Amino acid sequence: MAFPCLVSVLVFLSVIGSCFSYERDNLIDSCWRGDRNWQKNRMKLADCAVGFGSSAMGGKGGAFYTVTSPNDDPVNPAPGTLRYGATRERPLWIIFGGNMNIKLKMPLYIAGYKTIDGRGAEVHIGNGGPCLFMRNSNHVIIHGLHVHGCTTSVFGNVLISESSGVVPVYPQDGDAITVRISTNIWVDHNTLSNCTDGLVDVTLASTAVTISNNHFFDHDEVMLLGHNDSFLDDIVMKVTVAFNHFGPNCMQRMPRARFGHIHVANNYYEPWGKYAIGGSSHPTIISEGNMFIAPNESYKKEVTIRVGCTSSNCDAWEWRSIHDVFLNGAHFIQSGKEYTGGESFKAESGKEVPTLTRHAGALKCVPFTHCL
Ligand SMILES: *[C@@H]1O[C@H](CO)[C@@H](O)[C@H](O)[C@H]1NC(C)=O
Ligand SMILES: *[C@@H]1O[C@H](CO)[C@@H](O)[C@H](O)[C@H]1NC(C)=O
Ligand SMILES: *[C@@H]1O[C@H](CO)[C@@H](O)[C@H](O)[C@H]1NC(C)=O
């Protein structure tokens, strides 16, 4: 009777095994998402970025700070609020004591060496107020937030950081996440939609930025990389855009770039409203291993749009497509010299994109189990 018993044990083990079978993750998620003790090892996340922003430390090595109140005082923030943590001078790893909806009164200036880590809570920011703002800020990680309904702010005083103090600031244009004059920034696993201006805008000579694993939807101008066509300082900008899910209902700018070097890799594009990837002022755009699903209208099949160039100088802009997958008639007009490497990380084939992006957006994280 030992043999049938052994068989049934093996069958039992294989059934149990398939219950725990764990589909392959992308390069970022496979670094931490399998850890059932993620809540004890939160700072491990800081080792997991890829691409140009991969050195972003966030608040790694600093103390934890727990947000316990959704309230906001832009000038004299109370301990326990998000703004108090974000404006401290020292490195902080900011987490949330519970689910919360935060409506800010002024843009949230995030000082350097901060992680805002929404894992384990459902945190919504925006809700008809201004949102997240970085200026002269280095080493920031934004992870696991729902940011939507961000609107313009008024002229007024706001605490920039402990050392910069309270400063009057001009109205801001209503982005979910603004990055200006900042380096080593990583924006990962956020759910972003429906704001007045951009969802993630990176400008004013910011560089070393990775925007990954986010879900972008219901929005017009999704992502602007580069300030304006006379701001040559943006030539230093290097941005990686990877493993994001764009759609449904994204109109344009996924991204729209100026100057800089942009690696757009392994992203999933649902049908766009106007175009997917655009730019002016001769940026370098390497599109690698993305999946583009074109809209049905025959005149919207082209992925790219080049603004402000004549055919002769457009031909010199380096916009290359490698290992991309084109569905529903999508196509990509290439220009410039053939791509010879130097990409920001090793992307996979576009065929893998549905698997690599299936967990895009803020994850639901439960202690002692995976973040899903
Ligand atoms: C989008 O955001 C605006 C501004 O907060 C809000 O009034 C509107 O209801 C939101 N729309 C959707 C579809 O969520
Ligand atoms: C570009 O931006 C710079 C810096 O903000 C500004 O001084 C300049 O007027 C802008 N140029 C255009 C054409 O908008
Ligand atoms: C495109 O056409 C297909 C087939 O008719 C349809 O199923 C799909 O919903 C359409 N997509 C959009 C975005 O309109």
- What domains can you pick out in the chain, each with its CATH number? 49-171+181-191 (2.160.20.10), 213-362 (2.160.20.10)
The reply to whether ligand 2 has any atom less than 6 angstroms from the CB of 228 is yes
Residue nearest ligand 2's atom 3 by CA: 231
The reply to whether ligand 2 has any atom less than 6 angstroms from the CB of 180 is no
Report the mean per-residue pLDDT for the chain.
Answer: 94
Q: Which atom of ligand 1 is nearest to the CA of 126?
A: 5
Q: What pLDDT is recorded for position 23?
A: 74
Task: Give the pLDDT mean for 29-52.
Answer: 97
Predicted structure pTM score: 0.94
184's tokens = 């080593």
Of the candidate ranges 17-21, 121-125, 173-177, 321-325, the one whose mean pLDDT is the lowest: 17-21
pLDDT tens digits, residue range 164-192?
999 999 999 999 999 999 999 999 999 99
Residue nearest ligand 2's atom 4 by CA: 231
The reply to whether ligand 2 has any atom less than 6 angstroms from the CB of 230 is yes
**N- to C-terminal Cα separation, the chain:** 42
**Euclidean distance between CA atoms 372 and 367, whole angstroms:** 12
Going by their DSSP bridges, the two strands 207-212 and 183-188 should be labelled as parallel
230 CA distance to ligand 2 middle (Å): 6
3 state SS of 35: coil
pLDDT tens digits, residue range 133-142?
999 999 999 9
What does the CA dihedral 148, 219, 141, 343 come to, rounded to 10 degrees? 170
Q: Count Cβ neighbours within 10 Å for each residue of 164-179 and write b for 16 or more, e otherwise.
A: eeeeebeebbbbbbbb
**Euclidean distance between CA atoms 15 and 222, whole angstroms:** 44
